[in-house]
C-alpha cells in the first residue's frame, strides 16, 4: 500500500501548531510520523511524508498553501491512504484521543475507527471517538481515504505526558490500526517516574510521590521489579 504521512504543521512561519508543557505540536507530530514511517516500511509499505525533516516547512508561508501542498503531494503520488497526525488543544480543559474523517460510513471511517481503538487500548488515553469534519482541507481535498489523528491534548498535563513519553507507542498503535498487524513488543520499562506516573494515571496507585519514593529507595528491590513487570504485562495485553 502507498501511504502518505502528514506530520501536522510547520517548524516555523504561520502554520506552526499548538504547544504546552515544553512540547511543540509540530515536533511531536514529526517524531510520531517518522517512527510510523519506519514501522510501515519494515512491513513492506511505500511511504512518503509531507515533511522529511523536523525543521521542514511546507508551502509558501500561508496556512492555506501549507495545507494545499500536503494534499497535492499525496494526490499527485496517487497515495492509497492519507494520514495526518496532530495534537489537540483546548486551554488544558480537555483530554483524550480523537480521529477525524470527511464523513462517517466511509472506508476512511473504518480505518479511523481501528486506529482510534488501537490508540485508546494500547495507551489508555480517553476515547473521544471518530468524528466527521468535512470542512478540513486535508480531509476534503484528498483523493484517497484520509484520516486526521488527534493523538492527545498537548495543553493538558496528563495528555502532554503521553505525548512526551509514549511517541513510539502512538506510532505502533496507528500502525496496528492501518495494517491490522501487531507492531513488535512493548519496550522494557525502566524509568521510575514514568512507571509511578502511569500507575497513578490509571488509578491503581493514589500516592504517586510515595510510590515513586519507595521504588527509588530500593531500585534493586521487589517493588520496583514487580511494578515494572506488571505494567509491562498490562500494556502488552491492552488492559
Cite the active site residues: 150
User: Helix, strand, coil % (nearest 5) of the chain?
Assistant: 45, 15, 35
Sheet holding 81-88, edge to edge: 46-49, 2-7, 81-88, 146-153, 97-101, 127-132
Candidates 17, 20, 59, 145; binder of Zn ion (CB under 5 A) is 17
Applying CB under 5 A, the span of 6-14, 107-115, 128-136, 231-239 interacting with Zn ion comes to: 6-14
Instruction: Choose the stretch contacting Zn ion; rule: CB under 5 A; options: 82-90, 128-136, 138-146, 194-202.
Output: 82-90
Alpha helix locations (H) across the chain? Answer: 25-42, 63-77, 107-123, 137-140, 157-165, 167-179, 192-201, 208-217, 222-236
b/e map 9-47, b = 16+ CB within 10 Å: bbbeeebbbbbbeebbbbbbbbbbbbbbbebbeeeebeb
Between residues 9 and 166, which has the closer beta carbon with respect to Zn ion?
Answer: 9
Residue 8 CB, nearest approach to Zn ion (Å): 4
Nearest residue by C-beta to Zn ion? Answer: 86
Instruction: Tell me the site size for Zn ion, rule CB under 5 A.
Output: 3
Q: Does residue 145 bind Zn ion (CB under 5 A)?
A: no
Question: Does 24 sit near Zn ion (CB under 5 A)?
Answer: no
Identify the CA nearest to 32 among candidates 64, 7, 2, 57.
7
Whether the Cβ atoms of residue 143 and residue 73 lie closer than 8 Å to each other: no
Out of 5, 7, 8, 179, the only residue in the binding site for Zn ion (CB under 5 A) is 8
Q: Binding to Zn ion by residue 128, rule CB under 5 A? A: no
Q: Decide: is 96 part of the binding site for Zn ion (CB under 5 A).
A: no
Rounded least distance, CB 150 to Zn ion, Å: 8
**Gyration radius (Cα) of the chain, Å:** 18
Nearer to Zn ion among residue 8 and residue 145 (C-beta): 8
**Which range binds Zn ion by CB under 5 A, 9-17, 37-45, 139-147, 187-195?**
9-17
For the beta carbon of residue 61, count every other beta carbon within 10 angstroms.
12
Q: Which stretch binds Zn ion (CB under 5 A): 3-11, 152-160, 186-194, 215-223?
A: 3-11
Residue 86 touches Zn ion, criterion: CB under 5 A: yes
Q: What is the binding site for Zn ion (CB under 5 A)?
A: 8, 17, 86
Amino acid at each position: 500500500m502507498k501511504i502518505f504521512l502528514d506530520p501536522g504543521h510547520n517548524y516555523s512561519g504561520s502554520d506552526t501548531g499548538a504547544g504546552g508543557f515544553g512540547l511543540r505540536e509540530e515536533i511531536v507530530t514529526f517524531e510520531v510520523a517518522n517512527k510510523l514511517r519506519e514501522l510501515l516500511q519494515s512491513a513492506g509499505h511505500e511511504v512518503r511524508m509531507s515533511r522529511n525533516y523536523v525543521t521542514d516547512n511546507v508551502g509558501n508561508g500561508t496556512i492555506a498553501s501549507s495545507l494545499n501542498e500536503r494534499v497535492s503531494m499525496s494526490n499527485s503520488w496517487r497515495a492509497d491512504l492519507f494520514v495526518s497526525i496532530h495534537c489537540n488543544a483546548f486551554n488544558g480543559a480537555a483530554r483524550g484521543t480523537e480521529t477525524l474523517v470527511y464523513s462517517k460510513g466511509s472506508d476512511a471511517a473504518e480505518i479511523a475507527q481501528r486506529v482510534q481503538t488501537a490508540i485508546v487500548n494500547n495507551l489508555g488515553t480517553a476515547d473521544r471517538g471518530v468524528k466527521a469534519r468535512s470542512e478540513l482541507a486535508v480531509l476534503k481535498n484528498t483523493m484517497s481515504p484520509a484520516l486526521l489523528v488527534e493523538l492527545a491534548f498537548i495543553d493538558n498535563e496528563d495528555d502532554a505526558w503521553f505525548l512526551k513519553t509514549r511517541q513510539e507507542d502512538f506510532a505502533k498503535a496507528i500502525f496496528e490500526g492501518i495494517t491490522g498487524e501487531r507492531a513488535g513488543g512493548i519496550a522494557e520499562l525502566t524509568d521510575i517516574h514514568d512507571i509511578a506516573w502511569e500507575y497513578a494515571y490509571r488509578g491503581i496507585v493514589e500516592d504517586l510521590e510515595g510510590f515513586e519514593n519507595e521504588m527509588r529507595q530500593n531500585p534493586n528491590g521487589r517493588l520496583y521489579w514487580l511494578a515494572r513487570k506488571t505494567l509491562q504485562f498490562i500494556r502488552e495485553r491492552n488492559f
